[in-house]
Amino acid sequence: MSRLVVQHPHLGDHAVAAFRAALGRAPTLHLPQLAVWEPATLDGDRVGELADALGVDAEIVPMSARLSDYRLLAFDMDSTLITIECIDEIADYAGRKAEVAAITEAAMRGEIANFEESLRRRVALLEGLPATVLARVYEERVRLSPGADALIVAARAAGLKMLLVSGGFTYFTERLAPRLGIDFSRANLLEIAHGRLTGRVLGEVVDAEVKRRVLEETCAAIGCTPAQAIVVGDGANDLKMMSVAGVSVAYRAKPRVRTETTHAINHCGLDAILNWFVDQLPAAP
């Protein structure tokens, strides 16, 4: 048995009416940002067509699914847990944001097959920047994505551990992890010499293969399988870890990513994930 969950920060009556007409009945739960039909009788393709046409988030989910069935919640960082691409903002201080951002976008769309090569090309453009720009980016530009706090709090209360695994940089993951109570993190280490960025990264680059391996290793460390993990990301570099997860979520993601994941969020915040689980659904008014 499945449930249809339709969401939008400003869910309009016209969207609810369209889904009501398609299902032939009113939702079992209707709140300002949320409408739920259970059981749901529409197939996923029709739901996707309606959601795209109406500009809402709509997903078919198992009626019995509970957040507490899972053991790990894993996030990509840039443009997923936070609203920016850190490397693009660092490059802004070198006057090269547009140049770096173009490479970032191509990599996230999957147009540059070798993520390591794309990262090294971008980092090389940062050579000579004072390392103090990292603190400025963190303090002035890093903002959590909408709903991130609420999702993490609920997941922790349901017994899940948190993983932050990023093709970005440890400077940021090592500050976000303790701030948010994230249990595990992995990212790339920028080389700094004499107070300046050298334009190089140290050690193994966290690419798609490494992300999948880190997810699998983290699951093993906490005694679960990847099928008990929920993974949230936005780019091609996340697809391999998403492919082994029990639930994969494309968050405001590139088109290729949306077609290869379990669910997608295009309009709502990260806390929309909670409404897919029966133990997190709000009570009817």
What are 56-73's pLDDT values in tens digits? 999 999 999 999 999 999
**Residue 104 scores a pLDDT above 90:** no
pLDDT, tens digit (0-9, with 9 covering 90-100), for 78-103: 999 999 999 999 999 999 999 998 98
The class that CATH gives domain 1-64 is alpha beta
How does residue 43 score in pLDDT terms, banded at 50, 70 and 90? confident
Cα gap 224→126, rounded to integer Å:
40
Domain boundaries, the chain: 1-64
Burial of 260 (0-12, 13-18, 19+ CB in 10 A): middle
> What's the predicted TM-score (pTM) here?
0.95
Compute the Cα dihedral for 133, 138, 139, 140 and give only its sign: positive
Can you spell out the DSSP letters for 204-236? S---HHHHHHHHHHHHHHHT--GGGEEEEE-SG
pLDDT at res. 41: 86
The answer to whether the CB of 42 falls within 8 A of the CB of 4 is yes
In percent, the amount of the chain with pLDDT more than 90 equals 89
The answer to which of 154-163, 227-236, 255-264 has the lowest mean pLDDT is 255-264
**Three-point CA angle 52, 237, 161, nearest 5°:** 90
Closest to 155 in 3D by CA, of 178, 128, 182, 129: 182
Mean predicted lDDT score pLDDT of the chain: 95
Would you please indicate which residues are annotated as catalytic (active-site) residues?
Answer: 76, 78
Quick check: 279 and 66 in contact, CB under 8 A? yes
Residue-wise pLDDT for 241-261, tens only, equals 999 999 999 999 988 899 999
